[in-house]
Amino acid sequence: MASKFINITLKIWRQKNSQAKGSMETYKLDHVSTDSSFLEMLDQLNEQLINERKEPIAFDHDCREGICGMCSLYINGRAHGPDTGITTCQLHMRMFKDGDTIYVEPWRSAAFPVIKDLVVDRSAFDRIQQAGGFVSVNTSGRTIDANSIPVPKTDADKAFEAAACIGCGACVATCKNGSAMLFVGAKVSQYALLPQGKVEAKNRVLNMVRQMDEEGFGNCTNTGACEIECPKGISLENIARMNREFLTAALSNED
């Protein structure tokens, strides 16, 4: 099928740095192919701005394959835009109509301060993962084949599903409380379900939850918006598992 082209109006958040006061600025962009991705459309806009000797818009991206999660944007009031189960780089302009006005904003969270324009600092997620520590493996002087440790298939499947979290932060941006519980729940679950993760399990969940609170994320009130907007479909079940792991660890520390 032949490509179609549309003309759009963009309302984009511009902010010089975390201390500056930002605002929405308006741009007109014509002849946008509906086959192009949302990021390719932003590339086209930046090329136009450069040709006009104006400062291009800063936005984050890397793989452009829905793997890294860096492309996170809030588009028309939805994390990653008007589609389900995708990242921003997987959103195509065919989801929009000729003459549409599109609002583009960065993640809105105190724990994700704006660096510039649409780029936010998500290093809080890195610090939470680092607080989880490491996984001990007794090799007894030799490398153990991973397949030599039996794991029930149901547990392996759930751990794999939790590990699919790419840390994009859509859960935080979507949550009315700015909670990171789905992200932390996924990172706790991917180890809690496997025998290799049992040794440090108690310290891991206590340290990760403590770090999450120190970073300033909000509390979970189980509205489920995070699960709906997660591009990888991470289940709320992981939050429940994290809560169980946390309570078990906290109570055992009191003994």
Contacts of 166 (CB under 8 A, 6+ apart): 66, 67, 68, 69, 87, 231, 232
Q: What is the pLDDT of residue 134?
A: 83
Q: What is the pLDDT of residue 147?
A: 66
Alpha-carbon gap, residue 106 to 113, rounded angstroms: 9
Q: What is the pLDDT of residue 88?
A: 98
Q: Please list the pLDDT of the chain residue by residue as tens digits (255 residues).
A: 567 999 999 999 999 998 999 999 999 999 999 999 999 999 999 999 999 999 999 999 999 999 999 999 999 999 999 999 999 999 999 999 999 999 999 999 999 999 999 999 999 999 999 999 887 766 666 666 666 778 899 999 999 999 999 999 999 999 999 999 999 999 999 999 998 888 899 999 999 999 999 999 999 999 999 999 999 999 999 999 999 999 999 998 765
What are the CA-CA distances from residue 237 to residues 13, 102, 127, 128, 188 (Å)?
Answer: 34, 34, 23, 20, 12
Instruction: Name the pTM for this structure.
Output: 0.92
CATH topology for the 123-254 domain: Fumarate Reductase Iron-sulfur Protein; Chain B, domain 2 (1.10.1060)
Q: What is the pLDDT of residue 71?
A: 96
Residues 111 and 172 sit within 8 Å (Cβ to Cβ): yes
CA angle 230, 232, 234 (to 5 degrees): 70
- Expressed in angstroms, the distance from the first to the final Cα of the chain is 68
In the chain, which residue ranges form alpha helices assigned H by DSSP?
Answer: 38-51, 123-131, 153-163, 170-174, 181-192, 201-214, 225-229, 237-254
Where are the domains positioned within the chain? 5-115, 123-254
Show the tokens assigned to 235. Answer: 């289940």
Contacts of 48 (CB under 8 A, 6+ apart): 27, 29
Q: For the domain bounded by 5-115, which CATH number is listed?
A: 3.10.20.30
Alpha-carbon gap, residue 34 to 89, rounded angstroms: 14
Residues 188 and 205 sit within 8 Å (Cβ to Cβ): yes
Alpha-carbon gap, residue 95 to 92, rounded angstroms: 6
